[in-house]
Amino acid sequence: MTNFFNGTATAMITPFAKDGGIEFDSFGKMIDYQIENGTDALVILGTTGEPATMSEAEKEDVMRFSVEKVAKRAKIIFGSGSNCTAHAVEASIKAEKFGADGLLAVTPYYNKCTQNGIYEYYKAISDAVRIPIICYNVPPRTGVNILPATMERIAALKNIAGVKEACGNMEQICETARRIRGKCDLYSGDDNLNLPILAIGGAGLISVASNIIPKETKMLYNFVQAGDLRSANEIQDKMLPLIDAMFMEVNPIPAKAAAEMIGLGGGVPRAPLTELEPAHKEEMRKVLTGFGLNVIA
């Protein structure tokens, strides 16, 4: 299927308090910030949201809160992937029941299944739910790579809406785009490659940096859609130092620190992730200030 969503989506961080709880006031503020700045969809409980460190009860609380807070102002995409197919199916069914517009399912990590195993994983999720599913290919984090021929096969499943590509290999991404074109959509999952992926026909992007700069991220998308590549390059050039800073330590550590610095209340990461190192905090402040953002912390 195609056209589940076109535009920009933010891979939302989950703000945790130092005492371990979820800061829902801050999370609500983040949701409003995204919608007010033109974000089309919110990816909640994706890997950037640290669901691997959350209890099932906490995830349910986040889903319930998100649906009520968003109130149909944007599409909600809940993360439901797992290294266990049965758990991914269960999480997908639960997300659908809680009111998700769609799902983002990362490949089964660590187990290193075969390409056929990847297909069977997505088929099991597809068979279990009715809502759109976006596959998430991020081999640097999972150890598993959806090859273009496999994604073409997956695209034939009834409710596969697209693939979030973060393999980092534009040659592979171009081949995937060729094979799935008209069958399901391609989304950028790597902020550094947003512009080239949009340029080869990407339907949108799922961004970490847009936690901080949703307005500019949407501007990039709009410029490409308008065929104004000069302006698209200018905004991408401006964004790149901040994008690089978002990954100076493992995601979502820098994004959470940046959200704190600009007053969104990003909270702290959960162990085994740690807070941004002091030297990197100073570097982050300089990057945010250089971008023109108001740093208050």
**Per residue of the chain (297 residues), what is the pLDDT tens digit?**
999 999 999 999 999 999 889 999 999 999 999 999 999 999 999 999 999 999 999 999 999 999 999 999 999 999 999 999 999 999 999 999 999 999 999 999 999 999 999 999 999 999 999 999 999 999 999 999 999 999 999 999 999 999 999 999 999 999 999 999 999 999 999 999 999 999 999 999 999 999 999 999 999 999 999 999 999 999 999 999 999 999 999 999 999 999 999 999 999 999 999 999 999 999 999 999 999 999 998
Preceding omega of 272 cis (within 30 degrees of 0): yes
Instruction: Copy the structure tokens of residue 72.
Output: 């149909």
Q: Give a yes or no: residue 282 inside a domain.
A: no
Please indicate whether residue 183 is annotated as part of the active site.
no
Q: Is residue 251 part of a domain?
A: no
Q: What is the pLDDT of residue 96?
A: 98
Q: Say whether 171 sits in a helix, a strand or coil.
A: helix
Q: Is residue 296 part of a domain?
A: no
CATH classification of the domain holding 136: 3.20.20.70
Collapse the DSSP code of 33 into the 3-class scheme (helix H, G, I; strand E, B; otherwise coil) and give the result. Answer: helix
Residue 19, pLDDT score: 87
The total number of structural domains in the chain stands at 1
Q: Is residue 239 part of a domain?
A: no
- Told to judge if 121 belongs to the known catalytic residues of this protein, a careful annotator would answer no
Choose, from 69, 164, 218, 256, the residue flagged as catalytic.
Answer: 164
Do 261 and 286 touch, CB atoms closer than 8 A?
A: no
Q: Give the model's pLDDT for residue 235.
A: 97
- The single residue of 33, 136, 187, 221 carrying the catalytic annotation is 136
* Distance in angstroms (rounded) separating the CA atoms of residues 31 and 210: 12
Q: Which domain holds residue 47?
A: 7-228
Residue 236 lies in a domain: no
Q: 64: Cβ–Cβ under 8 A, 6 or more apart, which residues?
A: 98
